[in-house]
């Protein structure tokens, strides 16, 4: 059921836009081409930013340092009833979406999707976004260099998001 | 700030990598990251083109403006510096709505366009404005209501109820977005004081 609905959302949005455009007598094809052209410039702008960020992040993650931090933070996470196994994935979440998804995949196959660990991991992945990537992409696309407090605000919100996910899963299940 | 973080990641990566005897993988990762980022950009390129085209129709037909008007009581509070019913608010509203459905690929182009319009209102072009940071923080806190990827991943691993996490995700995402907005407001206020 859910699959059918989520499969229908995009086609219906496109349909609605096209029908409404015709109703408002927009030259839909010309306007579409004009809009699509903007993507060239956008892609060229964001590439160097993505490259820079991926370069640094990949070198950093290569050291496995994130897994060492886990042992260090264990007491705190025991305190809020968060299984320490989820921690590497949670720490990875704001840095790299693909890596945290890969780690979630590991968690689900090791502990099972219906375990506490599986549920917490799923909710953390689902209710947060990759802060570093979004920051690079969004600010990079407009050429902003001074990001002021954006990173701190973003990471602090991620920390809150992770803690909230753990609390919510503990309460609901 | 971002300069320091970037340097920090690279220095730690190389120094710790050498000390823990991972020289081969350092070399591999360096070249690999260039390839991975090109792949990423090539992946979003067509999606970007498609959605910027569709959204341009929506904009010309006046849908974006309608969204802005509809959500303006709420968005006006979140973005006090943006003029009422400005086009940027329309894109922000659409971005948030599309994100809720878990359609990240469609949300990103809309969000980027919104960010671009926010920067047009910005006095100092190379510095993020308060509204730009608010928009970013809302986005990074993740407003997804239907996490399609995770549901399919859970199915793959034989979950008895793959969708049981949806409610938890909704609750968590709403609370954490709320927290993100509060955190952003606190930072913005502190920053204002510092500037004075």
Residue A96, φ and ψ in degrees, nearest 5: -145, 115
User: According to the model, what pLDDT value does residue B104 have?
Assistant: 65
Q: How far apart are CA B117 and CA B91, in angstroms?
A: 9
User: According to the model, what pLDDT value does residue B106 have?
Assistant: 74
Q: What is the ipTM of this complex?
A: 0.83
CA B66 from chain centre, in angstroms, equals: 22
Q: How confident is the model at residue B70 (pLDDT cuts 50, 70, 90)?
A: confident
Total domains in chain A come to 1
Q: How far apart are CA A55 and CA B10, in angstroms?
A: 8
A146 part of a folded domain: yes
Provide the b/e sequence for A101-125 (b: ≥16 CB within 10 Å): bebbbebbeebbbbbbbbbbbbbbb
Q: Please indicate whether, in this complex, the C-beta atoms of A36 and B146 are within 8 angstroms of each other.
A: no
Token code pair at residue B98? 């599309």
Residues 6+ apart with CB under 8 A from A161: A124, A127, A128, B141, B142, B172, B173, B176, B179, B180
Q: Please indicate whether, in this complex, the C-beta atoms of A135 and B12 are within 8 angstroms of each other.
A: no
Q: Give strand ranges (E) for A79-173.
A: none
Residue B128 pLDDT > 90: yes
- Residue B81 sits in which domain range? 28-195
- Phi-psi region for residue B82, left (φ > 0), alpha (ψ -120 to 50) or beta? beta
Of A59, A94, A154, the CB nearest to B136: A154
* Chain A residues inside the 8 Å CB shell of B125: 142-144
* Chain B residues inside the 8 Å CB shell of A24: 60-62
Of B20, B125, B166, the CB nearest to A63: B20
User: According to the model, what pLDDT value does residue B57 have?
Assistant: 92
Q: How confident is the model at residue B14 (pLDDT cuts 50, 70, 90)?
A: very high
Across all residues in chain B, what is the average pLDDT?
A: 86
User: According to the model, what pLDDT value does residue B111 have?
Assistant: 92
- Residue A132 sits in which domain range? 64-172
How many CB atoms within 10 Å of residue A127? 31
Q: How confident is the model at residue B85 (pLDDT cuts 50, 70, 90)?
A: confident
How many CB atoms within 10 Å of residue B83? 11
A19 part of a folded domain: no
Of A60, A148, A169, the CB nearest to B128: A148
- Kindly give the parts of chain A with pLDDT less than 50: none
Express each pLDDT in B154-183 by its tens digit: 888 888 888 888 888 888 988 999 999 999
User: According to the model, what pLDDT value does residue B102 have?
Assistant: 63
Token code pair at residue B96? 């948030």
A124 part of a folded domain: yes
Name the closest residue on chain B to residue A144, using Cα atoms. B126
Choice between B124 and A78, residue whose per-residue pLDDT is larger: B124
User: According to the model, what pLDDT value does residue B10 have?
Assistant: 94
Residue B187 pLDDT > 70: yes
B62 part of a folded domain: yes
Total domains in chain B come to 1
Backbone CA torsion sign across B96, B97, B100, B102:
negative
> What angle in degrees, to the nearest 10, is found between the helix axes of B104-120 and B130-140?
170
Choice between A170 and B71, residue whose per-residue pLDDT is larger: A170
User: According to the model, what pLDDT value does residue B39 have?
Assistant: 87
Location of structure tokens 């955190």: B183
Q: How far apart are CA A72 and CA A79, in angstroms?
A: 14
What string of H, E and C letters represents the secondary structure of chain B?
A: CHHHHHHHHHHHHHHHHHHCCCHHHHHHHHHHHHHHHHHHHHHHHHHHHHHHHHHHHHHHHCHHHHHHHHHHHHHHHHCCCCCCCCHHHHHHHHHHHHHHCCCHHHHHHHHHHHHHHHHHCCCCCCECCHHHHHHHHHHHCCCCCCCHHHHHHHHHCCCCCHHHHHHHHHHHHHHHHHHHHHHHHHHHHHHHHHHC
Express each pLDDT in B34-43 by its tens digit: 898 898 888 8
Express each pLDDT in B87-122 by its tens digit: 899 899 888 887 776 666 678 888 999 999 999 999
Separation in Å, CA of B180 to nearest CA in chain A: 5
């Amino acid at each position: 059921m859910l699959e059918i609905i989520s499969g229908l959302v995009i086609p219906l949005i496109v349909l609605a836009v096209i029908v409404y455009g015709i109703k408002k007598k927009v030259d839909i094809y010309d306007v579409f081409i004009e809009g699509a052209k903007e993507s060239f410039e956008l892609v060229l702008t964001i590439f160097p930013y993505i490259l820079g960020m991926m370069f640094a992040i990949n070198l950093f993650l290569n050291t496995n340092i994130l897994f060492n931090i886990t042992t260090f933070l264990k007491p705190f996470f025991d305190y809020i009833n968060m299984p320490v196994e989820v921690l590497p994935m949670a720490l990875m979440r704001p840095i790299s979406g693909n890596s945290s998804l890969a780690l979630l995949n590991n968690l689900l196959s090791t502990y099972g999707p219906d375990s506490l660990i599986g549920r917490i991991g799923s909710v953390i992945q689902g209710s947060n976004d990759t802060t570093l990537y979004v920051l690079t992409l969004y600010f990079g696309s407009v050429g902003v260099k001074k990001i002021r407090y954006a990173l701190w605000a973003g990471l602090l919100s991620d920390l809150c998001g992770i803690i909230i996910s753990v609390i919510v899963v503990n309460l609901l299940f | 700030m971002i300069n320091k973080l970037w340097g920090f990641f690279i220095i730690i990566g190389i120094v710790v990598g050498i000390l823990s005897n991972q020289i081969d993988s350092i070399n591999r990762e360096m070249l690999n990251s260039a390839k991975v980022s090109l792949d990423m950009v090539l992946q979003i390129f067509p999606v970007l083109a498609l959605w910027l085209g569709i959204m341009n129709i929506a904009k010309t037909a006046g849908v974006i403006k309608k969204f802005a008007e509809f959500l303006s009581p709420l968005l006006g509070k979140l973005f006090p510096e943006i003029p009422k019913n400005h086009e940027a608010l329309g894109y922000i509203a659409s971005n948030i709505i599309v994100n809720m459905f878990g359609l990240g690929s469609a949300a990103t182009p809309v969000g980027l366009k919104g960010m671009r319009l926010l920067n047009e209102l910005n006095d100092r072009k190379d510095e993020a404005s308060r509204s730009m940071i608010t928009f970013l923080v809302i986005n990074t806190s993740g407003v997804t209501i239907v996490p399609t990827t995770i549901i399919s991943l859970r199915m793959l691993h034989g979950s008895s109820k793959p969708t049981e996490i949806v409610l938890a995700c909704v609750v968590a995402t709403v609370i954490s977005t709320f927290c993100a907005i509060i955190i952003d407001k606190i930072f913005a206020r502190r920053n204002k004081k510092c500037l004075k």
